[in-house]
Amino acid sequence: MLNADDPLVADLGRDGELRRRAGTTYFGIEDPTQALAELQHAHDAKHCRRCGHPYRYERAFVGHLGHYDCPNCGAGRPTPDVAARSIQLLGMRGSRFEVTTPNGRASIELPLPGLYNVYNALTAIAAAQRLGIGLELIADALAGVEAVFGRVETIEVDHKALSILLIKNPVGANEVLRTLRQEADSRGRPLDVWLALNDRTADGHDVSWIWDADFELLAPAVRKITCSGTRAPEIALRLKYAGWPLESIEVSGEIGPSLDSALSGAEPDLFALPTYTALIELRTLLTQGGHAEEYWK
């Protein structure tokens, strides 16, 4: 199973020996309404794998994933066997889309938000089809999936919904920001956000990636953001340069007190965007407070 929209991955399918021994199923998105207005800063595949010439993108969906070709040698995106069409992104509620496969088509209700989770669902659909599982059963299974640790997990804390969305690199952060912007637009009001940026070994000591994430997208959609973690001042500076109103930014380095402050002022709920070690700290605090179970048990 190869992502047709990712030139770094799709190129593997051009290996004749691989096709002969394993067969190749491509999946991808066929919905121009989901294309970005322009390529993101976090764009990792700019040059053709075959000849090194810059790719030409007809449209991009997530990072360097999209519809592309090389104007020099002709290498380009293969036609997907499994494709998502007519996609509706519903903010935090998830998405709806139609999937077409060699064995038919089905309407998919996915309770996980973001276009990146549409790609994850396509991967699962392609694999299940190769295993001979029917589309009706696949659709039923996807409709019942639940968020896992830190990946759009929602926990009730003091009668408020705390939604946790891990961020750790520019592409992933961009998709979280995109999802929250859709959520704010659907609600018709700005959100309250808590963002914790750590620079420990598991996070990566270099946090310059925050300058490649498009925080500008969320600037008009947030009422208040609390910046926390070991590099709280740096993420606050990034938001300032992204055009966020200074009165909407609060800096509080310690994770526990900053979370309490953000929750008490949230109207009515809070969106938490932690890096990896901040997520572990957050989970520990929630467990100690009786709001969540220990994930590792």
pLDDT tier at 106, thresholds 50, 70, 90:
very high
pLDDT tier at 34, thresholds 50, 70, 90:
very high
Task: Identify the burial level of 28 via C-beta atoms within 10 angstroms of its C-beta, where 0-12 means exposed, 13-18 middle and 19 or more buried.
Answer: buried
Q: Name every residue whose Cβ is closer than 8 Å to that of residue 269 and which is 6 or more positions away in sequence.
A: 160, 161, 162, 163, 192
Q: Which residue has the tokens 């704010």?
A: 184
What pLDDT is stored for residue 168 in this prediction? 96
- Using the predicted structure, report yes or no on whether residue 91 has a pLDDT greater than 90: yes
Q: How many residues comprise the chain?
A: 297
Task: Identify the burial level of 281 via C-beta atoms within 10 angstroms of its C-beta, where 0-12 means exposed, 13-18 middle and 19 or more buried.
Answer: buried
Report d(CA 192, CA 179) in Å as an integer: 14
What pLDDT is stored for residue 118 in this prediction? 98
pLDDT tens, residue by residue, 265-278: 999 999 999 999 99
Mean pLDDT of the chain: 95
Q: Which of 13-17, 24-28, 113-117, 193-197 has the lowest mean pLDDT?
A: 13-17
What pLDDT is stored for residue 297 in this prediction? 61
Average pLDDT over residues 213-239: 98
Tell which residue, 43, 41, 67, has the closest CA to residue 56: 67
What pLDDT is stored for residue 253 in this prediction? 86
Q: Where are the domains of the chain?
A: 2-143, 151-288
pTM for the predicted model, two decimal places = 0.93
Q: Does domain 151-288 have CATH number 3.40.50.720?
A: no
Chain centre to alpha carbon of residue 72: 32
Active site residues: 206
SS3 call for 270: strand
**Distances in whole angstroms, Cα of residue 9 to Cα of each of 39, 101, 205, 218:** 19, 20, 28, 30
Average pLDDT over residues 166-171: 96
Higher per-residue pLDDT: 178 or 38: 178
Question: What is the spatial order of strands in the sheet that 2-3 belongs to?
Answer: 2-3, 26-29, 82-89, 95-101, 104-110
The b-or-e profile of 67-84 (16+ CB within 10 A means b, else e) is: bbbbeeeebbbbebbbbb
Report d(CA 88, CA 289) in Å as an integer: 37
- Using the predicted structure, report yes or no on whether residue 3 has a pLDDT greater than 90: yes
Report d(CA 46, CA 268) in Å as an integer: 42
Q: What are 164's two structure tokens?
A: 């946790």
**Distances in whole angstroms, Cα of residue 165 to Cα of each of 113, 114, 176, 178, 284:** 11, 11, 7, 12, 16
- Using the predicted structure, report yes or no on whether residue 40 has a pLDDT greater than 90: no
Higher per-residue pLDDT: 38 or 96: 96
- Using the predicted structure, report yes or no on whether residue 89 has a pLDDT greater than 80: yes
Report d(CA 169, CA 68) in Å as an integer: 23
What pLDDT is stored for residue 19 in this prediction? 67
Report d(CA 186, CA 183) in Å as an integer: 5
User: Beta strand 191-196 with 160-165: parallel, antiparallel or unpaired?
Assistant: unpaired
